[in-house]
Amino acid sequence: MSDPAARFESTAEQYAVYRPEYDDRALDYLRERFDLDGTGRLLDLGCGTGRLGVALAPDVGEVVGVDPNEAMIEHARERANVVGETNTDWRVGSDADLAGMADDLDPLGLTVVGRSFHWMDQGRTLETLHEITESGGGVALLSDTEWLARGTADWQDAVYDAVAEYLDDPPERTGPVEYDGSWIRAVADHGFDDVERHSFEVEREWDDRSVIGYLLSLSFCSPAVLGDDREAFEHAVRERLSAFEAPYEEAATVELIAGRR
């Protein structure tokens, strides 16, 4: 599944409902750092179902959301409509199309990339963004603890065991990993100044439905990947979770890296 649209082709419904919201402190940081005052253009690149773009729409003049998956874009459009944000423009595309969109997007006040920068050609993307970002604007990369791999709770171990039973090549169960700073260097190396990294610790609670929904939103554990095994997989996850008392608690970290043009 090298096609960026195909990775999440069957996950949009689960992605829209079960991926966690971004922490309010991270959004407040962006509003303050980039002086968001209801004007200017924000690009939500790799927007998925539009969580970031819609959350920040009241703070800018226009939001342009770009994602390679058409179903994701439809969910983003619906999310904006539900809350009445009419200053949004949702487009099917990817980082590979960014250079071709540059004239239309220029100038950008802020670009946000949420939980998707690892899928992109990072150097090329940052180079193009630097060219079309106005002075004082910037770029912000947001990521989140991937709890299936990095969580440390016993209930997460149990869920991983179920996943490993049904997937040939699940991600390695690593526990916490030390941040290597590569994204900070990449942002700085492509001309952005005053690059900062912030971490926001959050506590989340899950139940059986949200755990399964989250798993099905992952590209490597999607309904398409599971195929006919989906029902049995869901049953196996519930069986593993039955040994624990809901809600299941997660200690998560939201990472934010931001630089100014």
Q: Domain for residue 102, yes or no? A: yes
What is the extent of the structural domain holding 112? 4-145+175-204+251-260
pLDDT tens-digit profile of 79-98? 999 999 999 999 999 999 99
Pick 145 or 33 by higher pLDDT: 33
- Average pLDDT on 206-219 reads 97
Q: 92-120 as b/e, with b when 16 or more CB fall inside 10 Å? A: ebbbeebeebeeebeebbbbbbbbbbebb
The predicted pLDDT at position 2 comes to 52
The predicted pLDDT at position 5 comes to 63
Q: Domain for residue 220, yes or no? A: no
Q: Domain tally for the chain?
A: 1
Provide the terminal-to-terminal Cα distance of the chain, rounded to the nearest Å: 35
Please report which confidence band the pLDDT of residue 1 belongs to, taking 50, 70 and 90 as the band edges.
Answer: very low
The predicted pLDDT at position 48 comes to 96
Q: Domain for residue 154, yes or no? A: no
Q: Domain for residue 238, yes or no? A: no
Q: Domain for residue 76, yes or no? A: yes
Q: Domain for residue 219, yes or no? A: no
What CATH number corresponds to the domain at position 195? 3.40.50.150
The predicted pLDDT at position 180 comes to 86
pLDDT tens-digit profile of 61-80? 999 999 999 999 999 999 99
